[in-house]
Amino acid sequence: MGKKKMKKSKSIYAVLFVSCLFFTTFSLPYVLAAEDYWVSKTSMNEARAYLGIEVVNGKIFAIGGDQGSIIGNVMNAVGMTSQTTNILEEYVPSLDKWTLKTPMPTARARFGTAVYENKIYCIGGYSATIDNETNYFDLHINEVYDPTTDTWETKASLTTARHCPATNMVNGKIYVIGGYSITSHSILNINEVYDPASNTWATRSPPPLQIGSSASVVLDNKIYTLGQNSSSWDIFIQVYDPATDIWIIKGSTPVSSFASAALTSGLSAPQRIYFFDENRTDVYNPVDDSWVEGTPAQTARPVAGAAVIDDLIYVVGGRTGQWGYMTFMYPSALVEQYS
């Protein structure tokens, strides 16, 4: 996808994701492209935000999430209810149909996901079951879903409990980077790697900037994440090379850490990283570190998930409503396809 033409790549899928921090915005030129448009698809059976999204064998799996809401105004403390769920739904694009599958053993939200050997690893996250988040805690859990058998199993736990980590698979290993700690009320700069073959964890070099967003993708065997400067709150692209265990900080971004991310491959269009937040579509070119803006989504939805199948990006779930002097935000089941 370039500035003139915005086609998606062949059979590439990416995670999505969700995040935890604050909103930053820039003014960007709109992309002029004939295929830069959105269409609505069949909604999920269950509305939720902060869900895990992965693709296996051309099907989208929407896992867990939070079904709570936010209601309040600037004169009073914002009321928030958190209710994590273990719901799992499978979407078949050719049928435009969602089907309920075996639920995840542990109800949770804002967990990391990655695919290894056609199995989905769901790592960390938080659990919340009481209004106003009074029963709200991070998880170490590592649970694996096999779409072929529709079954779950438990693997070795994450060393440090957290939610909102950037989670990606590179060369057979799963990297769980950053995240947010409820206990310390802080963003973590931990980098842990999981080896599915040996079912073990190890520690790698931490990111130079805090990572409190799970919006991340893998490009050329390198992990692209969002990093936040703790003093200025500016958000930057950070790139991690697992082969050398080295980090590089790229330029600043127009992206909120509430964004989800998706990647095109360069097979039939240039490689680009797409970030979706509210109704914004921001497109990053990793070659020259530049940004352009795509057509806004039909419905503003932060904290949604994103996945790519056959040149099409699907943005799933999130929260809808209004944020401002009067805030009413509710979980969404909406699905929109970006072409």
d(CA 121, CA 118) in angstroms, rounded, equals: 10
Q: Nearest Cα to 280, choosing from 301, 303, 305?
A: 301
* Radius of gyration from C-alpha coordinates of the chain: 18
C-alpha count within 13 angstroms, C-beta hemisphere, residue 338: 32
d(CA 135, CA 20) in angstroms, rounded, equals: 18
State what percent of residues in the chain have pLDDT above 90: 62
pLDDT of residue 177 exceeding 80, the answer is yes
| pLDDT at residue number 202 | 98
Residues 142 and 154 sit within 8 Å (Cβ to Cβ): yes
The string of pLDDT tens digits covering residues 147-163 is: 999 999 999 999 999 99
Which domains, ranges and CATH numbers included, belong to the chain? 38-338 (2.120.10.80)
d(CA 112, CA 232) in angstroms, rounded, equals: 26
DSSP classification of residue 49: B
DSSP secondary structure of 287-335: TTTEEEE-PPPSS--SS-EEEEETTEEEEE--EEEE-SSEEEEEE---E
Q: pLDDT confidence of 265, banded at 50, 70, 90?
A: low
pLDDT of residue 9 exceeding 50, the answer is no
The H-or-E segment that residue 12 falls in is none
pTM given for the model: 0.87
The string of pLDDT tens digits covering residues 229-249 is: 666 678 899 999 999 999 999
What's the one-letter identity of residue 39? Answer: V
